[in-house]
């Protein structure tokens, strides 16, 4: 119905954010937000990891704070438009919805990983600004984020839950490390997620300490924090005794963050896609990631 719209920050040569709207033809719209593009510095450095700074939620009073990275991603989603040959060309998401919602309509925002943090933020922004694009109140806003890190602090989570908590279905794997970010208690559990199959070493603990320092004092809290987790289990076939604990940890973390969800949600048609993605992002990519983490740990220690 709208998009896909691709967002790029100044100077970027890759897709930093992508979003589209689909419909089943029965007054049900789904706003789908892409996860992290590993080739996007804006995604990785800003949207994913810039959590040391929090900023107030701008569209509600006493609404708490969100991570600067989350706000940066939301700001881009608010202004991107589809290209000239695509549905909704030249229209922002709000302008599109203003013309599309003319009768009772459900709008579900969703996304995985980075999209799992941005979709609650987008849903709440649409809710808080609904009078500007849906003057008759025809829209019911829902949210289904998966595998997302925390968008904001405890006050933000309280504000969100009061507004959209009952209309949000948060999906997360119990041993996916990404939803453990950035709550400090949850972060502390990351090194031992795959015990006894993968025993943490000093490098794994160092990465966790760095993450904890970035989030320290932020009181990061998941929206719908009490939502039961999907019962993930360690994929022991991926554990290679010839690899270091960090290499095994990263491969397992990637699996638990991606293709494990296809099994846990009983979506076998996604498994071939997940397998190809896992192959592309493991092996040499894991070795490169290990090198980067080791370098980062050395710099922080120094």
SS3 140: strand
What does the pLDDT look like over 134-168, one tens digit per residue? 999 999 999 999 999 999 999 999 999 999 999 99
Which residue, of 171, 204, 227, is where some domain finishes? Answer: 171
Which residue, of 171, 189, 213, is where some domain finishes? Answer: 171
Its domain, for residue 59, covers 1-171
What does the pLDDT look like over 17-69, one tens digit per residue? 999 999 988 899 999 999 999 889 999 999 999 999 999 999 999 999 999 99
Q: Give the per-residue pLDDT at 293.
A: 47
Query: Are residue 154 and residue 263 in the same domain, yes or no?
Result: no
Q: Give the per-residue pLDDT at 300.
A: 39
Nearest CA to 19 out of 77, 98, 79 is that of 77
Query: Are residue 138 and residue 180 in the same domain, yes or no?
Result: no
Specify the residue for token string 């808080």: 128
Query: Are residue 202 and residue 158 in the same domain, yes or no?
Result: no
Whether 262 shows a pLDDT value over 80: the answer reads yes
The structural domain count of the chain equals 2
Query: Are residue 219 and residue 159 in the same domain, yes or no?
Result: no
Query: Are residue 215 and residue 101 in the same domain, yes or no?
Result: no
Query: Are residue 148 and residue 178 in the same domain, yes or no?
Result: no
User: Domain with 269 in it: what CATH number?
Assistant: 3.40.50.1820
pTM: 0.90
Query: Are residue 14 and residue 149 in the same domain, yes or no?
Result: yes
Query: Are residue 29 and residue 112 in the same domain, yes or no?
Result: yes
Query: Are residue 16 and residue 160 in the same domain, yes or no?
Result: yes
Mean pLDDT of the chain: 92
Nearest CA to 153 out of 216, 220, 222, 60 is that of 220
Backbone angles phi, psi at 218, to 5 degrees: -85, -10
Share of the chain above pLDDT 70, in %: 91
Q: Give the per-residue pLDDT at 96.
A: 97
What does the pLDDT look like over 7-31, one tens digit per residue? 999 999 999 999 999 998 889 999 9
What does the pLDDT look like over 89-118, one tens digit per residue? 999 999 999 999 999 999 999 999 999 999
Query: Are residue 43 and residue 140 in the same domain, yes or no?
Result: yes
Which residue, of 107, 142, 171, is where some domain finishes? Answer: 171
Query: Are residue 161 and residue 21 in the same domain, yes or no?
Result: yes
| Residues contacting residue 10 through CB under 8 Å, at least 6 positions apart | none
Confidence of residue 268 (pLDDT cuts 50, 70, 90): confident
Range 116-129 average pLDDT:
98
Query: Are residue 198 and residue 126 in the same domain, yes or no?
Result: no
Identify the H or E element spanning 65.
strand 65-67
């Amino acid at each position: 119905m709208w998009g896909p719209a691709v967002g790029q920050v100044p100077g970027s040569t890759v897709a930093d954010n992508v979003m589209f709207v689909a419909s089943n033809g029965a007054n049900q719209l789904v706003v789908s937000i892409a996860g992290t593009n590993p080739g996007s510095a804006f995604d990785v450095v800003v949207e994913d990891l810039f959590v040391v700074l929090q900023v107030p939620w701008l569209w509600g009073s006493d609404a708490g704070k969100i991570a600067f990275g989350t706000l940066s991603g939301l700001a881009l989603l608010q202004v991107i438009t589809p290209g000239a040959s695509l549905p909704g060309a030249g229209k922002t998401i709000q302008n599109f919805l203003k013309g599309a919602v003319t009768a009772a309509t459900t709008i579900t925002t969703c996304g995985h990983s980075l999209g799992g943090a941005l979709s609650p933020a987008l849903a709440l922004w649409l809710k808080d600004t609904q009078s500007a694009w849906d003057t008759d109140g025809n829209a019911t806003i829902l949210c289904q984020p998966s595998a997302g890190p925390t968008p904001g602090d405890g006050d933000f989570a309280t504000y969100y839950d009061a507004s959209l908590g009952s209309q949000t279905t948060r999906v997360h794997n119990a041993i996916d490390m990404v939803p453990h970010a950035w709550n400090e208690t949850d972060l502390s559990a990351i090194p031992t997620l795959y015990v006894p199959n993968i025993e943490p070493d000093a490098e794994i603990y160092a990465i966790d300490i760095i993450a904890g320092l970035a989030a320290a004092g932020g009181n990061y809290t998941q929206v719908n924090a009490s939502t039961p987790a999907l019962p993930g289990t360690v994929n022991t076939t991926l554990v290679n005794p010839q690899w270091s604990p960090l290499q095994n940890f990263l491969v397992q973390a990637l699996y638990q963050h991606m293709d494990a969800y296809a099994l846990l949600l009983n979506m076998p048609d996604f498994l071939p896609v997940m397998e190809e993605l896992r192959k592309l992002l493991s092996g040499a990519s894991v070795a490169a990631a290990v090198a980067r983490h080791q370098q980062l740990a050395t710099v922080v220690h120094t």
